[in-house]
Chains A and B, each alone.
Chain A
Amino acid sequence: MMTWIKLAVRNLFRNRRRSLFTILAISLGFAAVNVLGGFTDYIFSNLENSYIHVQANGHLTIFKPGFLKEGKLDPTRYLLDEDSTKAIKEILHRYPEVLVVTPQLHISGLLSNGKVSTIFIASGRIPSDIRTINSYSRGLASKFELFTGKPLEDDIVYGVGLSRGLAEQLNLDLGVTAVAMAPTVSGQVNALDAQVFQLFTSPIEALDDKFMLVPLKFAQSLYDTTSVDRITVLLENTAQTEPVRRRLAQDFATRGLSLEIKSWNELSTFYVKVKQMFDIIFLFTFLIVFTIVVMSVINTVSMAIMERTREIGTLRALGLKRGGIVVLFAIESLMLGLFGSFLGVILTLLTWSGIAFFKPTWVPPMITGRVPLEIYLVPEYMVYSVLLLGVLSLMAATLPARKAAKMQIVSALGHT
């Protein structure tokens, strides 16, 4: 086999320019796929981190079954009372993977500055738990101030955070007091004073004119309840999400608790949409690369066959079987794929090093400041790319090589 590999490599260098262009096409395709893959990984990783840690939604959220569909119509029916919350916490605290368990109550109502009012949607949380979840944040998001003003406190019930759009709409600034109104769980209207402790940019653009962050006690006081509507669970890492969810579902069932457990990616519609978009972009890029590689290799192998028809005839006359001819060109093609991949790895590393060195910045959607642009090196993508390009090169060579192998020996020998 070494003889044929040696012959294949030497044949590649016979028409250096043509082989070089094919290798370049493969390597550029390799680099394009891997740089885009590295960029999407950076985006996905930061979106994941943003949803789980920065927005403090955790990896898992526990609801009463049907809350997400019917919860708005009949909130009291879907609230988790203190006993249920305690039972759930007890179960969760037995899981070594669980870092934080924190209840939340999402509310809605009217916010007034004394002259005009507007609707709000608020997330009632325990501020100290949220800070703990935030502290596990990594990557880009951990480098940014999430709000202006001061942090919310567990025991300062009236201190709230407003999205910038909402504050602008009601002309509310830091330190100003407003009034939040909402119906209680029993249907009466309730109102509470709220002082603006902080201003932040809403994670969802559509909610920027109505989103608030309030301490859990504020939300419970306004709704006049001690219940919550969800329990957020932070795990040690994302990979534990599904295994823990499966075990939790079993544990809840054993204890007779009817609960619904949703994972972070099921609840983060933005993450899912961005992922779908990038998946489509990646697919298109891959198809373009696929086409370029296949066409380049077919062209190179076909030209080589045409130029070396007499050699094919000679090798067949010397006793090389048809399969041997296919193998010979397949090796040449595989070598093109492997050399191209090798150069592609170098190009990817150069791009990665260039970005790491020059540190370019950009403004991603829904982030107010410029952030460093990063590309992650993903060895798995590189290994898959090498394998895939190898297989593609082999496949691309098969058709012309089979045609070459079927040539009549006499015609091949007489080819000029």
Chain B
Amino acid sequence: MNRKSVTIALCAMWLLMVAVVAFAPAGESADAAALKQGSTGSLVRTVQTKLKNWGYYTGTVDGVYGAKTVAAVQYFQRKNGLTADGIVGSATAAKLGISLSSSGASGYSSSDEYLLARCVYAEARGEPYTGQVAVAAVILNRVRSSSFPNTISGVIYQSGAFTCVSDGQINLTPNETAKKAVRDAMSGWDPTGGCLYYYNPATATSKWIWSREVHLTIGSHSFCV
């Protein structure tokens, strides 16, 4: 496996999410996590296949969410005690046994996002919200920097990089706040203005870290380059 190509893909991904996120004609439907009438693609195909196998759907499996698919979804929802709105949101998706994220397109964005959320939760759960976004941003700044590993997992698991990795706290389940903070950082928010390090002045033991130029302080963390 050519790691660089993954790296480049990741870099491209950041560039997209951060600098460009996306190029779509204005007025594009935005509520994309849910599938509804008009949706197309492999996920719709999966929904149709499942409904057909279970006898809810009689149309063709064509990947187009048309009126027949809506009717089948409503039928499925009524049978399963869900609101029969004909839209596959998270609850219906769960009952169908599909994950709206498993498009088969790319697993890395979700799994890396979750790993990042775990690190943020373990490192900064007691910090103000903006301080949590800042910790996520520092990790992403390292991924983008040529002086650090080029993947989120590479940066997080680099030896000595984060205390939460050495003491095992990284394995705690992150809360919603940490996940939101990660989403913000991945969408371009960086309260640190490009910092690559942070430390807690009350507990930091490394002499070296004190020599870095501090850009700002948020909560109990000093952020530096």
B and A form one assembly:
no
Seen from chain B, the residues whose Cβ lies within 8 Å of a Cβ on chain A are none
